[in-house]
Structure 1
Amino acid sequence: MPKPNQQLIATKLKLSRATVSRCFTNHPGINPQTRAKVFALASKLGYSPLEKAKPRAHAERLKLLDVAVLICVDLPNFDNTAYGNPGEEILTGVTEFARTKKISLDLHYVKPEDLSLDSPSYRRITPMRRRRWKGVLFIYPFPQTVMDELMAKYPCVSLVEQYGTTGLDCVDVDHFRGVNKLMDRLLAHGHQRIGFFTHHYDVEASWALRRHSAYMEKLFSLGMPYNPDDALNIGQHNKLDYDATHQRALELTRKGVTAWLCASDYEAYQLVEFFKKNGLSVPRDVSVTGFDGIRKPAGAPLLSTVQVPYREIGVTGVKRLSDLINRRFDSTQHILLDCALREGETIAAPRNSAL
């Protein structure tokens, strides 16, 4: 593979070499989405403009505020664009604010299975680059051990994920408002037995737990029964693999669950496809909702869901980190942004007859 440079990035993204160069110098004429794509590919290729700068450019760069953006994900999953790419939308917001405030971004992908800064994906980040960092943004779930190490060294802000056991600042969607909007739609259609669906993840998916908590709170507030058997992959002793989770949802649907509130759109679209393969039509036989607002895959029905404001989360997150860098011991904040209901084609009134 050719040695990574700006021309290689330009060729792969079908951009001009000048456009790529301007992305790294925070040029005001560059579209934030283009800048996010360039930064993401540069990280994947192992290219760093910080280490290639000429003396004059290096002097100019010293005037910038250097911020690390760490994305904890397996790259094949990040690049899976069949369902859209929320991570890239977050990066668009991050780069948009960074350009206006003279913030230089140092972006890296790290592996979920790496549990310390001595692990392989973190060792690739040279000490020289780490010394420049003034703060760190987390995107996606991180192991607690890694967060603890980085929080001891830098101001940190988490985007999308919340970690209730630490003093970590966070910018996230308001899970409770989002779930309430979805539950209200299902209840308005007459659903009384609504299940909660999520998968088991190697790194704890706190977003799924919060959405489940909101689901429980809604049921309790209305005096409706909560059946733990109808909540899949919640709790330490209720862990099913991918296939078993879908099979269990099918069994429960045939036993009376009329709607499934899925913790994410990705999970919801997969569940809709599984039901279809097993003879159930959505929403005629069972209703399904998601949570995210990502692009629907080809051939799938438009999902009833809520739209997470990913770009705004990126903008707000880097702004909060900038404030923390200037006020190192400011009070910890959790900033929750509202989400809009997106009407789709996967909710209908429950059928009266047994399936």
Structure 2
Amino acid sequence: MSMSRVNQELIAQRLNLSRATVSRSLANHPAISAETRQRVQELAEKLGYQQTPGRMGRRGRNSRALTVGVLIGVPAGNVVMATFPYILKGIRDRAEIEHVTIDVCYQAPVDFHPETGRQPVIRNMRQGNWRGVILIYPFAEKAVEMISQRLCTVAVLESYNQPGIDIIDTDDASAMVALVERLADAGHKRIGFLSWDYPIGGHWVARRFSGYVEALFLQGLPFRPEWVLNVDKNTPRLSPAQTADAVARIVRENQVTAWVCAADHQAYQLAIDLPLRGLRVPEDVSITGFDGLDPATGQKRITSMRVPHEQIGSAAVTRLVNRIQHPTAPRRKILVEAELVAGETIAKPGGV
């Protein structure tokens, strides 16, 4: 369902309530029972409802000042082929509606050691400057545990084992099924999967890999562990250049004619590296990515799944405000569907 079509009238119909009751529930009006407010707010969040900037959010202008941190798992804000700028736009737009102040911090996950207490992020937590925090990209489980013990926490595009952390994520399984189905429809029978090696890997690669395996099963296609790169921790970890070398070798030795990449930045780099190794994309090798990012000038658009990053960022703010207001509410995990982007990197199997 398109998020832009979701309005208060639809929510009222779904819950058999008046529109006025829905409006007051979204504004956290005390005249509405807590049970009704919770039902309305949970359905609104599930449907992706967004109030327009001209309306009052759930927090009025006279509400007590609320500042939340946004902790982005990169060392700086100028990372190439990154998704966080789109997530951050959604966060900022929604924060304006909710009258929430956002404090953005960039932090390399491998250098993040909350137990030392010396980093600015930790000082903000201890001094009470933040009421909650949104985590973008993977951080170490131990670090997240310490954060969640101090603050209400929402994680974006990553899952954690800690109880009480709300998750806003992509429905990776259905997205991978769509990509593999597109490759199978083009005639590909041997399809590999690759990722890059990351210091803090997180769960997102494993989830997308499991979706790839499920998709192969649904299509009746073979699965071979040797056609999977940088997923199994018991196999050598390869750099991007080594990954491209391995792909070229497997294509020539095993006739693996298509590769599913765990993310767009990996796919775009592979599309650059393979021609340097004598393989054309997509004539010799088809490639898919994940995120729906635009190509650099002169590059072919990768066939991918476009993730609604701005809406995810918006939903993260809504979820965090709700968590701050209801700290003992059950944990929520919200999955958002991605949309297939028909790029220029899939063709019928060639004669490698």
How far is 1:133 from its partner? 1.6
Q: Could you report, residue by residue, the CA deviation over 1:126-183 in whole angstroms, capped at 9, with x for unpaired residues?
A: 3587403211110111111110001111110001112256542110111112111111
Q: Equivalents in 2 of 1:191, 1:232: separation in Å? A: 19
Q: Equivalents in 2 of 1:189, 1:282: separation in Å? A: 14
Q: Equivalents in 2 of 1:195, 1:251: separation in Å? A: 12
Q: Residue 215 of structure 1 aligns with which residue?
A: 212
Question: Percent same amino acid among aligned pairs?
Answer: 34
Equivalent residue letter for 1:345: E
How far is 1:224 from its partner? 2.6
- 2:224 matches 1:227: yes
Equivalent residue letter for 1:146: A
How far is 1:63 from its partner? 2.3
Q: Equivalents in 2 of 1:109, 1:61: separation in Å? A: 30
- 2:225 matches 1:200: no
Return the match for 2:144 from 140, 143, 147: 147
Q: Equivalents in 1 of 2:127, 2:158: separation in Å? A: 23
Q: Equivalents in 2 of 1:266, 1:70: separation in Å? A: 21
How far is 1:240 from its partner? 2.3
Q: Residue 245 of structure 2 aligns with which residue?
A: 247
Q: Equivalents in 2 of 1:328, 1:114: separation in Å? A: 29
Return the match for 2:233 from 221, 233, 236: 236
Distance 1:200 1:120, change over 3 A: farther
How far is 1:205 from its partner? 3.5
Decide whether the 8 Å contact of 1:265 with 1:305 is kept in 2.
yes
TM-score w.r.t. the length of structure 2 is: 0.78
Q: Equivalents in 2 of 1:128, 1:309: separation in Å? A: 30
Distance 1:205 1:118, change over 3 A: closer
Distance 1:121 1:97, change over 3 A: farther
Map 1:272-311 → 2, pairs under 5 A: 272-311=271-310
Secondary structure in 2 aligned to 1:288?
strand
- 2:171 matches 1:174: yes
Distance 1:267 1:323, change over 3 A: same
Q: Residue 134 of structure 1 aligns with which residue?
A: 131
Q: Equivalents in 1 of 2:236, 2:166: separation in Å? A: 29
Q: Residue 6 of structure 1 aligns with which residue?
A: none
Map 1:83-102 → 2, pairs under 5 A: 83=81, 85-102=82-99
Q: Equivalents in 2 of 1:292, 1:279: separation in Å? A: 27
Decide whether the 8 Å contact of 1:199 with 1:233 is kept in 2.
yes
Secondary structure in 1 aligned to 2:173?
helix
Q: Equivalents in 2 of 1:344, 1:195: separation in Å? A: 19
How far is 1:315 from its partner? 0.3
Unaligned 5+ residue runs, structure 1? Answer: 1-27, 30-59
Q: Equivalents in 1 of 2:125, 2:191: separation in Å? A: 53
Q: Residue 163 of structure 1 aligns with which residue?
A: 160
Decide whether the 8 Å contact of 1:109 with 1:121 is kept in 2.
no
Q: Could you report, residue by residue, the CA deviation over 1:91-144 in whole angstroms, capped at 9, with x for unpaired residues?
A: 111111111111111221122113421458734653587403211110111111
Secondary structure in 2 aligned to 1:293?
coil
Q: Equivalents in 2 of 1:267, 1:86: separation in Å? A: 13
How much is the aligned-residue C-alpha RMSD, in angstroms?
A: 2.1
Distance 1:121 1:298, change over 3 A: farther
Q: Could you report, residue by residue, the CA deviation over 1:5-35 in whole angstroms, capped at 9, with x for unpaired residues?
A: xxxxxxxxxxxxxxxxxxxxxxx79xxxxxx
Unaligned 5+ residue runs, structure 2? Answer: 1-52, 55-60
Q: Could you report, residue by residue, the CA deviation over 1:216-255 in whole angstroms, capped at 9, with x for unpaired residues?
A: 1111233332101101011111232213222111101112
How far is 1:197 from its partner? 1.0
Q: Equivalents in 2 of 1:217, 1:121: separation in Å? A: 44
How far is 1:199 from its partner? 0.8
Equivalent residue letter for 1:333: R
Q: Equivalents in 2 of 1:296, 1:120: separation in Å? A: 40
Decide whether the 8 Å contact of 2:163 with 2:331 is kept in 1.
no
Secondary structure in 1 aligned to 2:199?
coil
Q: How many correspondences in the alignment?
A: 292
Decide whether the 8 Å contact of 1:200 with 1:239 is kept in 2.
no
TM-score w.r.t. the length of structure 1 is: 0.77
Equivalent residue letter for 1:275: L
Secondary structure in 1 aligned to 2:243?
helix
